[in-house]
Chain A
Amino acid sequence: MNIVVCVKHVPDAQSERGFNEDNTTDRDGVDGLLSELDEYAVEQALQIAEAGEGEVTVLTVGPADAADAVKKSLQMGADKGVHVSDEAIAGSDAPATSLILAEAIKKVGSPDLVITGMASTDGTMGVVPAMLAERLGLPQVTYASELTVEDGVATIRRDGDTASETIQASLPALVSVTDQINEPRYPSFKGIMAAKKKPVEEWALADLGVDAGQVGLANAWTAVEQTTKRPPREQGTIVTDEGDGGTKLAEFLTTHKFV
């Protein structure tokens, strides 16, 4: 079983984040890391591979420091890495990112399973998995809180708004996972040492047959016209409960016509 996991290197959500003049995300001076939600995807791929025969390839698209996301995944236990990097990629939107990922997955081979996180923790659109499935012609089963693979069929469970659903698709398939699916492991010392010897392919757009005119900020299908820092909320009223906290809360709600 060949599994490709798509991961993203993102600015740390705990840090102060902002924009450049061209309205792209400002990554300078902000620590980057493997998107937290992608750790669940890597962990799930490892569990499936460990339960049977399997090889896990971790794939990322991004500038030089995006290699860190690959490295972390290899330290967790993935077998090999692919890092697609090219100056022309900067500022790519979701459709362009899904195009690059799709072409890279084709070049890796024909995986039985593509696993992603439910969304990145920076853009948080959550649309790349569906775009990727559309481009690869794969069935898409998303927001999995459980995933099993048996006899060439992927079965997932997910919590919908009105029901808990079981969804099945024949392999090859694309699955996106939520943070409910597992507990990602920490890289062990052994894993960290082993990762240094694992192969990482570096590909440019030309290696994928993707034209620079299809990607990047200038060729995005959407444009950010303006970014505005939200003014800090005005300091509200804070009271300490001295036996009448609930009454005061109800008074506030009544004054503001919620009651």
Chain B
Amino acid sequence: MAEVLVLVDHANGEVKKPAAEMLTLARRLGEPSAVFIGPGAETAKDLLARYGAEKIYSVSDPAALESLVAPQAEVLAQLVQEKQPAAVLIPSNSGGKEIGARLAVKTESGLITDAEDVQAGDSGPVTLQSVFAGSYTVNAKVTKGTPIICVKPNSATPEQAAGAGAFEELSVSISDEAKAARITASEPRKSSGRPELAEAAIVVSGGRGTGGDFSPVESFADSLGAAVGASRAAVDAGWYPHSSQVGQTGKQVSPQLYVAAGISGAIQHRAGMQTSKTIVAINKDEEAPIFELVDFGVVGDLFQVLPQATEAVKGK
């Protein structure tokens, strides 16, 4: 069976959930090989094998991570040439999509981004994506080269299946050109202790209706073990960082449960959350378009509703 390369998203060896999801999807297409770039492969090895990685290619050269995405695309391009895999799966976040973009041009291969599902087809993988603010779904396939597919978080339930996990340290040559853009300063975000927005199973978002006070949103999120998001209006007002923005120009999330508090539901916001499995909204305005999407809605003041719900959830 042909190899399927899976680029592992991690922070210093701490493997992120989408990697296990993509290894699970990769088994439908062939034999999963994890590609681990950066420090910490030793820490990650066991987990990757547990989710089915037959091989683990590790690149520990720090230059591969210091210079943004171009070197990672070079690493994958070398692997694609050597291994002729059946597909390459990459996390569909901003960096991952750029790696995919460069890899597609380098290897003259078709690229599909934002895949929410991947199935084996007669002539290669078939993907599913949502388009036009979630109003359509599209099935697509790659017709040239090696299928390069960027997969959204929460696209599969991770299933364990022991793989051999054969470890192979790769030596790669990274061009000077790929190192041309450098990170010169990095200011770590203060950890909120909450799950990451893009990967979270539950997201609670606040909007204009919070008036800048996110404390009821945060307390409710914490009672559910949820991530906190924000609408563009809240971000533009400076109430919450841009990295928490849900919507067309922020994060596209697809959690099991999405709670919109004080968010009216402009099309740009809907584009970022409409594929959530269950949607709940709290808004004072009963005419708010968000109510067209909800499974459950409360017309009311979030400052009354959320604290009461928080207490009730904590009491369970």
| Inter-chain contact B137/A228, CB cutoff 8 Å | yes
**Given A131-B105, A225-B126: A139 in contact with B308 (beta carbons within 8 A):** no
Bound-state CA distance A253–B306 (Å) is 13
B2 in the interface, Cβ–Cβ < 8 Å? no
Q: Which of B55-63, B93-101, B156-164, B206-214 contacts its partner?
A: B93-101
* Residues of chain B contacted by A221 (CB below 8 angstroms): 104, 108-111, 142-145
Given A95-B105, A179-B249, A222-B142, answer yes or no on A248-B136 (Cβ-Cβ < 8 Å): no
A258 interfacial by beta-carbon distance below 8 Å: yes
Tell yes or no: A109 within 8 A of B by CB: no
With a cutoff of 8 Å between Cβ atoms, the chain B residues found around residue A246 in the complex are 298, 304-312
Encode A213-253 as 1/0 by CB contact (under 8 A) with B. 00000001111111111100100111111011111111111
Residues of B within 8 A of A173 (CB): 180-181
| Nearest neighbor of B241 in chain A, beta-carbon distance | A159
Q: Is B222 an interface residue (CB 8 A)?
A: no
Question: Which residues of chain A come closer than 8 Å to B268, judged between CB atoms?
Answer: 13
* Interface check B215, CB cutoff 8 A: no
- B1: Cβ under 8 A from any A Cβ: no
Give the docked Cα–Cα distance between A131 and B197 (Å).
27
Q: Which residues in chain B, 75-118, are within 8 Å of chain A measured between CB atoms? A: 93-94, 97-98, 100-102, 104-106, 108-114
Contact between B106 and A134 (Cβ–Cβ < 8 Å)?
Answer: yes
Number of residues from B at the complex interface, CB < 8 A: 93
- Residues on the B chain within 8 Å of A178, using CB: 242, 249
Does B243 lie within 8 Å of A159, measured CB to CB? yes
Closest residue on chain A to residue B16 by CB atoms = A161
Q: Is the CB of B298 within 8 A of A245?
A: yes
Interface 1/0 per residue, B14-50 and A, CB below 8 Å: 0000000000000000000000000000000000000
In the docked arrangement, what's the CA distance between A124 and B140, Å? Answer: 16
Kindly state whether residue A137 has any CB partner on chain B within 8 Å.
yes
Provide the bound-state CA to CA distance between A160 and B95, in Å: 9
By the criterion CB–CB under 8 Å, are A253 and B224 in contact?
A: yes
Tell me which residues across on chain B come within 8 A of A17, comparing CB atoms.
132, 135-136
Q: How far is the CB of A196 from chain B (nearest CB, A)?
A: 32
Give, as a whole number of angstroms, the nearest-CB distance from B209 to chain A: 13
Given the known interface contacts A259-B224, A259-B313, the answer about A225 and B98 at a Cβ–Cβ threshold of 8 Å is no
Report A91 CB to chain B, min CB distance, Å.
13
Q: In the complex the two chains form, is B189's CB within 8 Å of A162's CB?
A: yes
Within 8 Å by CB of A37, from B184, B243, B249, B308, lies B249
A236 touching B296, Cβ below 8 Å? yes
Q: Is the CB of A127 within 8 A of B113?
A: yes
Choose among A13, A14, A165, A249 the residue that contacts B183 (Cβ–Cβ < 8 A).
A165
Does A227 contact B138, Cβ atoms closer than 8 Å? yes
Distance of A161 Cα from B104 Cα, bound (Å):
24
A110 within 8 A of B: no
Inside 8 A of A243's CB, which chain B residues have their CB?
304
Among the 9-residue stretches A42-50, A67-75, A141-149, the one with 4 or more Cβ atoms under 8 Å from chain B is A141-149
Known: A163-B186, A259-B316. A238 touches B242 (CB 8 A): no
Q: Are B70 and A140 in contact (CB under 8 A)?
A: yes
Which residues does chain B contribute within 8 Å of A155, judged by CB atoms? 184
Residues of A within 8 Å of B181, CB to CB, are: 139-141, 167-169, 173
Contact between chains at B297 and A239 (CB < 8 Å): yes
A134 engages B94 (CB within 8 Å)? no
Contacting residues, chain A, for B241 (C-beta < 8 A): 159
* CB pair A248 B104 closer than 8 Å: no
Note all chain A residues with C-beta closer than 8 A to B242.
145, 159, 178, 180
- Interface check A182, CB cutoff 8 A: no
Q: How far is the CA of A226 from the CA of B134 in the complex (A)?
A: 15
- State A253–B309 Cα separation when bound (angstroms): 10
Binary interface encoding of chain B residues 172-193 relative to chain A, with 1 for a CB under 8 A from any of its CBs, else 0: 0000010011111111110000
- Report A150 CB to chain B, min CB distance, Å: 13
Query: Is A121 an interface residue when CB atoms closer than 8 A count as contact?
Result: yes
A125 in complex: contacting residue of B113, B143, B186, CB < 8 Å: B113
For A234, give the chain B residue with the smallest CB separation.
Answer: B295
Is the CB–CB distance between B177 and A137 below 8 Å? Answer: yes
How far, in angstroms, from A170 to B180 measured CA to CA in the complex?
7
Known A-B contacts A135-B105, A221-B144, A237-B296; the reply to A254 vs B316 at CB < 8 A is yes
Supply 12 A–B pairs (Cβ within 8 Å), ascending by A.
Answer: A13-B133, A17-B135, A18-B136, A94-B104, A134-B101, A139-B181, A165-B183, A166-B185, A167-B183, A221-B144, A225-B141, A240-B299
| Chain A interfacial positions (CB closer than 8 Å to B) | 13-14, 17-19, 23, 37, 93-95, 98, 118-119, 121, 123-131, 133-135, 137-143, 145, 155, 159-170, 173, 178-180, 220-230, 233, 236-241, 243-254, 256, 258-259
Not counting A135-B105, A179-B249, a sample of 11 additional A-B residue pairs whose C-beta atoms are within 8 angstroms of each other reads A125-B113, A131-B105, A160-B243, A165-B185, A223-B143, A230-B130, A233-B279, A236-B291, A238-B298, A246-B306, A252-B295
Q: Which 10 A-B pairs have the closest CB atoms?
A: A246-B308, A241-B300, A221-B110, A250-B312, A139-B180, A130-B101, A246-B309, A127-B101, A166-B185, A139-B181
